[in-house]
Amino acid sequence: MLSFCVAGRYIPPHLRNKDASKNGECDASGWNTAKDAYTSFGNNRGKSAFFNDRGNANRGRFEHGGFGNGGGGGNSRWVEESRDDGDWSKPTPRNERLEHELFSGSNTGINFEKYDDIPVEATGQNCPQHIESFQDVDMGEIIMGNIALSRYTRPTPVQKYAIPIIKSKRDLMACAQTGSGKTAAFLLPVLSQIYTDGPGEALNAAKENGKYGRRKQYPISLVLAPTRELALQIYDEARKFSYRSRVRPCVVYGGADIGQQIRDLERGCHLLVATPGRLVDMMERGKIGLDYCNYLVLDEADRMLDMGFEPQIRRIVEQDTMPPKGIRQTMMFSATFPKEIQILARDFLEDYIFLAVGRVGSTSENITQKVVWVEESDKRSFLLDLLSATGKDSLTLVFVETKKGADALEDFLYREGYACTSIHGDRSQRDREEALNQFRSGKCPILVATAVAARGLDISNVKHVINFDLPSDIEEYVHRIGRTGRVGNLGLATSFFNDKNGNITKDLLDILVEAKQDVPSWLESLAYEHQHKSSNRGRSKRFSGGFGARDYRQTAAGGNAGGFGGRGGGRNQAGHGGNRGFGGGEDLIFGYK
């Protein structure tokens, strides 16, 4: 029988004795009471009077429970875990070695000024005011210290809006261009909130579990990402922003030794970054419980809700112990958000704000996009020409469609005397990490990659992205070229086009026009022909007005979204084939373990 109460509000140790006397109502039933509270509020009422302000939801929810006696005092096993005790809003002592490790590679004075006048649309009820500087919102001492150490002088546009929205506990679907600082846009406010609120009952649950020899962890926040590399990158950012705090971030992803990841989890896990497949595995092994996960973030959300991942996301979010929407806070981020995915996303969001940050007018200045007609048989020699024209210390990322194609091209370039490496789904996780490191460090300045590298990876100094093979959908194109021209730097994207790429013609043309790029006349005529051939594909112009997407609720079709009731049907109606967005099935592999 469980002899503890998890339904306690977090109370710092110095106040605990006082509270112990109030523990009368806190007995074995505490566990069930807390769980039932979730279920009944979540299902029946969504927001009872008790919960009508999300700001008080967490607190209110636990008011009726005292602080359990699993607080750890006297249990010597937990002495080592003293990290968890104390006031979570106060910084822990400095550690110069760690500080150096975390922040030495940071950003040096990138100028965001030209991002200032880009259009932003925030739609949804009662949208909180945006901020102009990090000082405009109270994120606490730890976060402010880490922002300074990261040398972020001012928030990027998506941060100006997303930070106050998340701080006011609203759900959010945010669409902002690649390289615009979306990671910090969710990590800063979520971590700040965790520091303010403390670990709450998650701490007791983990400790109590530990008493029985099990070491299940109850993260307070979960960030899901589609690829292992992206998960690692988010984890690294999370380590920065949790420096000098009591929050311990962890990362789990497939392809790496699970035993090691389990051992790392067992040292404590408050913020978990995960790819879905490995997370499901960890949940099934009883290593992770999402019972107290108050913050759920889907990075690259449109990819995460696309068909390859959706069942796993539902398994994690809806079919386990995670608090229901309306109780937990849910945030989704991406550079692209097709309407049909927005409709699907409603299942996970409650009364959300849709944030569309205009694609910077200066995308045109930052990324020069070129499309050249190259027949299949000429691609290699064309590539060699481009590479020989590239400066020595700049990095070039070459995208191909298949894993086999990646291996073959890497081999070819190697034989031609280029220092290159590759990253794709048939390579082991260790090889992939190694390849990424060699590329980042400039040892191998050419990286041949499949779609796995398209999403989210932040590698500074990528000067040139080459689409050796163009992808079949335009979102993938946007993400790929977004690997260059990041945060105010200049970049070039060259795409090889031939008759195989007919299906992307119209969308590619739209993108080029919108970003004020030179459009080859053959592309224009092709798009014209194409449009006439397949005159009514029923596809909306996604990127109108310089946004990666618009809130579908604002459009006429959004108004009668009832028509999209069945989820599979919704997407088919929107005119997509079964494999859109998968880069040739690649991510089916990457998403899973």
Q: How far is the CB of 182 from Mg ion (least distance, A)?
A: 5
Amino acid letter for position 71 = G
On the 0-12 / 13-18 / 19+ scale of CB atoms within 10 A, 319 is: exposed
Q: How far is the CB of 174 from ligand ADP (least distance, A)?
A: 10
Residue 245 binding ligand ADP, by CB under 6 A: no
Question: What does 531-563 look like in DSSP terms, one character per residue?
Answer: HHHT-------TTGGG-S---GGGSHHHHTGGG
Contact 276, 202 (CB under 8 A): no
Contact 304, 338 (CB under 8 A): no
Partner interacting with residue 178 (select from ligand ADP, Mg ion, none; CB below 5-8 Å by kind):
ligand ADP
For residue 251, what is the DSSP state?
A: E
From candidates 70, 71, 155, 445, binder to ligand ADP by CB under 6 A: 155
The residue assigned the tokens 């403390």 is: 198
Contact 244, 251 (CB under 8 A): no
The residue assigned the tokens 């965001």 is: 112
CA-based end-to-end distance of the chain: 36
Partner interacting with residue 219 (select from Mg ion, ligand ADP, none; CB below 5-8 Å by kind):
none
Write out the binding residues for ligand ADP, residues 272-301 only, by CB under 6 A.
none
Which one of 33-41, 171-179, 338-346, 431-439 is the stretch in contact with ligand ADP (CB under 6 A)?
171-179
Write out the binding residues for ligand ADP, residues 461-490 only, by CB under 6 A.
486-487
Nearer to Mg ion, 169 or 182 (CB): 182
Nearer to ligand ADP, 484 or 505 (CB): 484
From candidates 163, 184, 191, 444, binder to ligand ADP by CB under 6 A: 184
Which one of 54-62, 67-75, 117-125, 152-160 is the stretch in contact with ligand ADP (CB under 6 A)?
152-160
Nearer to Mg ion, 182 or 246 (CB): 182
Number of residues that make up the chain: 593
Pairing relation of β-strands 395-399 and 462-467?
parallel
CA neighbor of 11 nearest in space, from 1, 19, 3: 19
Pairing relation of β-strands 295-299 and 221-224?
parallel
Partner interacting with residue 155 (select from ligand ADP, Mg ion, none; CB below 5-8 Å by kind):
ligand ADP
Bridge partners, residue 330, by sequence? 296
Q: What angle do CA 123, 127, 128 make, to 5 degrees?
A: 145
Alpha helices in 389-489 (DSSP H): 403-415, 429-441, 474-481
Q: How far is the CB of 376 from ligand ADP (least distance, A)?
A: 32
Which one of 44-52, 181-189, 345-353, 375-383 is the stretch in contact with ligand ADP (CB under 6 A)?
181-189
For residue 569, what is the DSSP state?
A: H
For residue 292, what is the DSSP state?
A: T
The answer to whether the Cα torsion of 575, 581, 584, 585 is positive or negative is negative
Tokens of residue 358, six digits: 């205009």
Show the binding pattern over residues 444-483: x = contacts Mg ion (CB under 5 A), - = does not: ------------x---------------------------
Residue 254 binding Mg ion, by CB under 5 A: no
Partner interacting with residue 581 (select from ligand ADP, Mg ion, none; CB below 5-8 Å by kind):
none
Partner interacting with residue 152 (select from ligand ADP, Mg ion, none; CB below 5-8 Å by kind):
ligand ADP
Residue 182 binding ligand ADP, by CB under 6 A: yes
Quote the CA–CA distance of 343 and 341 in Å, as a whole number: 5
# chain residues binding ligand ADP, by CB under 6 A: 18
Residue 591 binding Mg ion, by CB under 5 A: no
Q: How far is the CB of 65 from Mg ion (least distance, A)?
A: 38
Nearer to Mg ion, 403 or 480 (CB): 480
Residue 363 binding ligand ADP, by CB under 6 A: no
Q: How far is the CB of 145 from ligand ADP (least distance, A)?
A: 15
Nearer to ligand ADP, 54 or 228 (CB): 228
Question: What does 83-115 look like in DSSP terms, one character per residue?
Answer: GGSS-TTSPPPP-HHHHHHHHTT-------GGG
CA distances from 226 to 25, 123, 231, 355, 390 (A): 44, 27, 8, 21, 31
Nearer to Mg ion, 54 or 182 (CB): 182
Residue 242 binding ligand ADP, by CB under 6 A: no
Show the binding pattern over residues 544-583: x = contacts Mg ion (CB under 5 A), - = does not: ----------------------------------------
# chain residues binding Mg ion, by CB under 5 A: 2
Residue 110 binding ligand ADP, by CB under 6 A: yes
Residue 152 binding ligand ADP, by CB under 6 A: yes
Partner interacting with residue 487 (select from ligand ADP, Mg ion, none; CB below 5-8 Å by kind):
ligand ADP
Write out the binding residues for ligand ADP, residues 509-538 only, by CB under 6 A.
none
From candidates 42, 179, 308, 471, binder to ligand ADP by CB under 6 A: 179
Which residue's CB atom is positioned nearest to Mg ion? 456
Which one of 161-169, 180-188, 191-199, 281-289 is the stretch in contact with ligand ADP (CB under 6 A)?
180-188
Write out the binding residues for Mg ion, residues 127-186 only, by CB under 5 A.
182
3-state helix, strand, coil in the chain (%, to 5): 45, 10, 40
Q: How far is the CB of 394 from ligand ADP (least distance, A)?
A: 17
Tokens of residue 183, six digits: 């990671």
Bridge partners, residue 271, by sequence? 221, 249
Q: Which residues contact 96 (CB under 8 A, 6 or more apart)?
A: none
Q: What angle do CA 356, 125, 35 make, to 5 degrees?
A: 100
Q: How far is the CB of 396 from Mg ion (least distance, A)?
A: 21
Amino acid letter for position 152 = Y
Tokens of residue 474, six digits: 């335009």
Give the footprint of ligand ADP on this chain (CB under 6 A).
Answer: 107, 110, 152, 155-156, 159, 176, 178-184, 456, 458, 486-487
Please give the residue ranges that form the binding site for Mg ion (CB under 5 A): 182, 456
